[in-house]
Amino acid sequence: GDSVTQMEGPVTLSEEAFLTINCTYTATGYPSLFWYVQYPGEGLQLLLKATKADDKGSNKGFEATYRKETTSFHLEKGSVQVSDSAVYFCALSTGGKLIFGQGTELSVKP
């Protein structure tokens, strides 16, 4: 069945460092791909999305490109801030349902 695999955390970075969180997926058909973020004590929020191959989603300095050839949707940010500390979930949408990865915890130190 369809599935999403993320790199394991926790990931600890210093402020202003470059961030990459890897995400690969397995799916039949052509899913939409998402990154959701969960800040401490808060609910899931959509960070960005891409609906077809080669689309790039971007928001708040974060970017991810839908790569059909490598079945990947890696999340990147050029310079992280302490306020980016959160858990990040990669997900795909198939038939209106979301399938999530296990989440990657990011901790940014000043």
Partner 1 sequence: EAGVAQSPRYKIIEKRQSVAFWCNPISGHATLYWYQQILGQGPKLLIQFQNNGVVDDSQLPKDRFSAERLKGVDSTLKIQPAKLEDSAVYLCANREWREDEQFFGPGTRLTVL
Q: Which residues bind partner 1 (CB under 8 A)?
A: 4, 32, 34, 36, 42-46, 49, 51, 89, 91, 93, 95-103
Report the nearest approach of partner 1 to the CB of residue 44 (Å): 4
Report the nearest approach of partner 1 to the CB of residue 34 (Å): 8
> Are the beta carbons of 34 and 49 closer than 8 angstroms?
yes
Nearer CB in complex with partner 1: 22/103: 103
Report the nearest approach of partner 1 to the CB of residue 68 (Å): 17
Using alpha carbons, list the distances in angstroms from residue 3 to 26, 44, 97, 102.
5, 19, 12, 10
d(C-alpha 39, C-alpha 87), whole Å: 6
Nearer CB in complex with partner 1: 65/100: 100
Q: Name 54's Cβ contacts closer than 8 Å, sequence gap at least 6.
A: 65, 66, 67, 68
Nearer CB in complex with partner 1: 64/91: 91
Nearer CB in complex with partner 1: 3/81: 3
Report the nearest approach of partner 1 to the CB of residue 79 (Å): 27
